Every structure is written in structure tokens, then in C-alpha cells.
Amino acid sequence: MLKEKLENYRIILASGSPRRHQFLKDLEIPFIIDVKKIKEDYPSHLRYSQITDYLAELKAEVFTHNLKDKEILITSDTIVWHEDKALGKPTTTSEAFEMLQSLSGKTHEVITSVTFTTRDSQKTVNAITKVSFRELTKEEIDHYILHFHPLDKAGAYGIQEWIGLIGIERIEGSYFNVVGLPTHLVYQELLNLVEA
């Protein structure tokens, strides 16, 4: 199993997301958390998964000179892609409301990129999941914003929370990707790295 194969490795997760922390625990991957603040800006010409690939790799840059042998750094970024633009995390409740209203009754895509960096190599993979919301009422959106925490989530919602339970009609692709990490890819890529 992967857990045994990682015994001689040090996995560094560069993410403050409690959901990503829990996923690695659930995958039985031993890891430490090391988060370095960076400005998450990307060139305006980038589209779609190019954005998350770029940001996941950007988050790794601040670590690359310090990585030691047998250390694997995991960095990640998630966006909601809707009507040909990227929705990141809202900064205000009114912005969260606008985002949720724009997603209401439509299908969008959740894109997560994960970068695996060692002293000698770097590989980025991504997953894309289609998510369809039914029409949400103003009262439902207001209730969600008031009682949950949409400001720390891309697209202003968590699929695992109340809004997902009452509003999401259909998804195509990985559910865990929408929560914040394509766990099947993380497992497979780590396996590939230690077996290489």
C-alpha cells in the first residue's frame, strides 16, 4: 500500500485548507503542513486549466530551492470556470451572493490542479468536474451565506455543505475534486513517484 511505500519520504502539503488536510489523512498519507503566502495572480491570457496549473506551480516555486532528497511537495489550486471566466474565492458576502446567483440554474466546471515537486522533478495534473445547480432562490442563497463560510471557497460554495445538498442536481466527474482535491490523482501520482 502507498502508506508503507512512503515510509522513507517526507510529504509536504502546502495548503491551509482543512478539507485537503482531511483528504490526505483519509488516504493514510503521512504529511506535514507548510504554507507560504504568495500573491495568487496569473497572466490574463491564461484560460481554463492553464490558470490552476500556473497557480499550483507558482505555489511550489517558493519551496523549490529548499527541497531535500526524499521530500515531495504537494501544491494545489481550484477555480470554478463559468461562462468563460474563472471564479476564485469571493472577498465579500455581496460578491459571494453574485457568484451563487450566476451559478443558479446552470452548469459550471470545477478545475483543480495538483503539482508534485521533488528536488529533481515537477509534474502537474488536473481534474475537471461538471456541476449543475437547480434554480436557487434569493432566500436560499442568503441563508447559505449567513450560516456557512463561502468566502474560503472557490465559486462561493462547498458541495458538501447545505447549498450542495439542496441545490446540486447533477455532477459529472470526481466529487472529491469539487470538495477541493482530486484524491484519485493524488494517490496515483504519489504511487508513480515512489515506484519510479
Query: Distance between CA 159 and CA 164 in Å, rounded?
Result: 4
Task: Considering the domain delimited by 2-195, tell me its CATH architecture.
Answer: Alpha-Beta Complex (3.90)
Query: Mind telling me the catalytic residues?
Result: 77
Q: Domain locations in the chain?
A: 2-195
Element (H, E) at 86: strand 85-87
Contact 115, 64 (CB under 8 A): no
Residue 37: pLDDT above 90? no
Closest to 34 (Cα-Cα) out of 55, 10, 6, 5 = 10
Average pLDDT over residues 37-45: 91
The answer to whether residues 186 and 23 touch, using CB atoms and an 8 Å cutoff, is yes
pLDDT, residue 177, reads 96
Residues 82-100 have a mean pLDDT of 95
pTM equals 0.92
CA distances from 21 to 5, 15, 28, 180 (A): 20, 8, 11, 10
- Name the average pLDDT for the chain: 95
pLDDT in tens, 54-90: 999 999 999 988 899 999 999 999 999 999 999 989 9
* Short-list 73, 76, 64, 60, CA closest to 20: 76
Give the strand pairing for 10-13 and 32-33. Answer: parallel
Instruction: Give the Cβ contact number of residue 15 at 10 Å.
Output: 23
